Amino acid sequence: MSRFLIVEARFYSHLNDMLIAGAKGVLEAEGHDVDVITVPGALEIPAAIALATEAERYDGYVAIGVVIRGETYHFEIVAGESARGIMALTMDGIAIGNGILTVENEEQAIVRADPSQKDKGGEAAKAALALLDLQDKFAAAE
């Protein structure tokens, strides 16, 4: 059994609740312990994961959030930089599933967040599990 941390940018509560339900459902079905913390926005997710890794309490992470395109360039900054930060951490060997939705509108977000539809929270949890499994396989090969 492993311990996972879900880091959520709690900006769209109703959408995050669905993403978290999907992620927790996958992780708990596999017998893993799950904690959830909240950060102000998607840009803070990579920093929170980096801080959490220093505590060495978690085996893997799931990033949860929703970025909906607006009228300004801010969407591109938040979507791109949050993804870049998460990718940098995964390149350092941290098992992270990226469940940050980047969508045009709320309707797209609902379809992707809902566990009974596209279940992107569950998919992010599965990605974190897959990376953790790879870590274990490579560690065993040493």
Active-site residue set: 74
- Among 90, 78, 66, 54, CA closest to 12: 66
| Residue 107 in marked binding region | no
Is residue 121 within 8 A of residue 113, CB to CB? The reply is yes
Is residue 39 within 8 A of residue 45, CB to CB? The reply is yes
| Residue 44 in marked binding region | yes
| Residue 34 in marked binding region | no
In angstroms, the CA 111 to CA 133 distance is 29
| Residue 9 in marked binding region | no
| Residue 129 in marked binding region | no
Q: Residue ranges for the binding site for (2S)-2-hydroxy-3-oxobutyl phosphate?
A: 71-72, 112
Q: Residue ranges for the binding site for 5-amino-6-(D-ribitylamino)uracil?
A: 11, 42-44, 66-68, 98
